[in-house]
Amino acid sequence: MQPPSTPAYHAAFPVYPKNKPSKNNPAKNHPVRGSLLGIEHLEAYEILALLQLARRMNPVKARPLLRNKRIVFLFYEASTRTRTSFEFAAKSLGAITTLVHASGSSIEKGESIIDTGYTLRAVGADCIVMRHPSAGAPHLMARHLDIPIINAGDGMHEHPSQALLDAFTILKHKKSLKGLQATIIGDVFHSRVARSACHLLTKFGVKITLCGPPEFVPEVAATLVPGLRVTRHLEDAIRGTDVIMLLRVQTERLAGQKISLQDYVSRYQMTAAHLKLARRDALVMHPGPIIRGLELTADVADGPQSVIVDEVHNGVPMRMAILARALGRAK
């Protein structure tokens, strides 16, 4: 599948031709109800419903809402937190799970995304949780299958379950999202996490500042959603903020750039001194994996304002809610 030809930052997924109808595959224009492909086109009430459902989910007390349902995890990229929490979520609901890696499967032999989807559906999949390096891949599969598709991250496009669990985490510490100030620091350009977070948080009145060097936060980033602000200065970005979201920096992406690794650390690393500029009850977040000594210092990662481990913990009930909704068991 070719990546979208539109500007990279917007990463609009491609418009695919409609599939030809057949006896086993009627023509479809829309994903099956329960699919979660992104945050951008969700209504605020749909997001609230998912957040409220997650509050009722307890991974410790198994609820067999999805007993005998077969959920396939189709991962074309490496994952620890997302895949593991989805798997724990599914099993906490009584589902049967199967993991399919790109390596060691027919995908390595050149099988297309659609044919892989047909195969998984034919063997009995009731839902597919999919991660893919190309923007739009889950949308393509969703248009051809008659089961819910959950986007677990597609290229630089979106990571909806991460945005939902981040909102869930914030609301465990704050009374409301409305009126909060949030700062996202790091490689926004390549981040599907940042894109989904911007779409979700701004729907609820959060004011967002993006911070980083031009290589990672181009001026066009401010056009993703209305009201975004871009700054190159860390102190300006975090002064008085309620939420600090740090993004992982892949050191290989600094190769050939004007900013060096040492420059990035000196200008954008979150330290205890910097954190004092934020509100006293500000939250420090990171989707992981964190790199201590690069995006943040160890004392910040392990400090009282850090909710990084809490985010990982909240991933399970949030993904339980996503799977329950997908398969019509939102009780």
Q: What is the pLDDT of residues 150-201, one digit of tens each?
A: 999 999 999 999 999 999 999 999 999 999 999 999 999 999 999 999 999 9
Residues 146 and 207 occupy one common structural domain: no
CA distance 320 to 60: 12
What's the half-sphere exposure (Cβ side, CA atoms, 13 Å) at 204? 25
Question: Can you give the length of the chain in residues?
Answer: 331
Residue 258 lies in a domain: yes
Rg of the chain over all Cα atoms, to the nearest angstrom: 20
**What is the model's pLDDT at position 255?**
72
Task: Flag whether 39 is in a domain.
Answer: no
Residue 290, CB half-sphere, CA atoms under 13 Å: how many?
Answer: 24
Both 127 and 171 in a single domain?
Answer: no
Mark whether 198 and 74 lie in a shared domain.
Answer: no
Give the pLDDT of residue 45. 97
Q: How many CB atoms lie within 10 A of CB 131?
A: 24
pLDDT score of 298 more than 80: yes
Distance of CA 242 to the CA centre of its chain: 21
Q: Are residues 230 and 321 in the same domain?
A: no
Q: Is the pLDDT of residue 330 over 90?
A: no
Query: Do residues 201 and 227 touch, judged by C-beta distance below 8 A?
Result: no
Span 290-315, mean pLDDT? 97
Distance CA 285, CA 289 (A): 11
Q: Is residue 100 part of a domain?
A: yes
Domain that holds residue 57: 44-158+315-326
Q: Which residues contact 144 (CB under 8 A, 6 or more apart)?
A: 19, 25, 28, 114, 117, 118
d(CA 216, CA 249): 9
Residue-level pLDDT at 28: 56
pLDDT at 21 over 50: no
111 and 235 co-located in one domain: no
Q: What is the mean pLDDT of the chain?
A: 90
79-88, 94-103, 108-117, 313-322, range with the lowest pLDDT: 108-117
- CATH code of 132's domain: 3.40.50.1370
- The C-alpha atoms of residue 155 and residue 170 are separated, in whole angstroms, by 25
User: Does the predicted model carry a pTM greater than 0.75?
Assistant: yes
Question: Residues with Cβ < 8 Å from 21, sequence gap 6 or more?
Answer: 27
CB 137 within 8 A of CB 1: yes
Q: What does the pLDDT read at residue 5? A: 42
If asked whether residues 286 and 320 sit together in one domain, one would say no
Nearest Cα neighbor of 268 from 289, 241, 304, 293 is: 293
Lowest mean pLDDT among 56-65, 66-75, 224-233: 56-65
Q: How many domains does the chain have?
A: 2
Residue pLDDT, tens place only, 2-12:
444 444 444 43
* 250 token code pair: 């892949």
Between 243 and 10, whose confidence is greater?
243
Q: Which helix (H) or strand (E) holds 169?
A: helix 160-173
Please tell me whether residues 133 and 190 are part of one structural domain: no
Average pLDDT (290-319) is 97
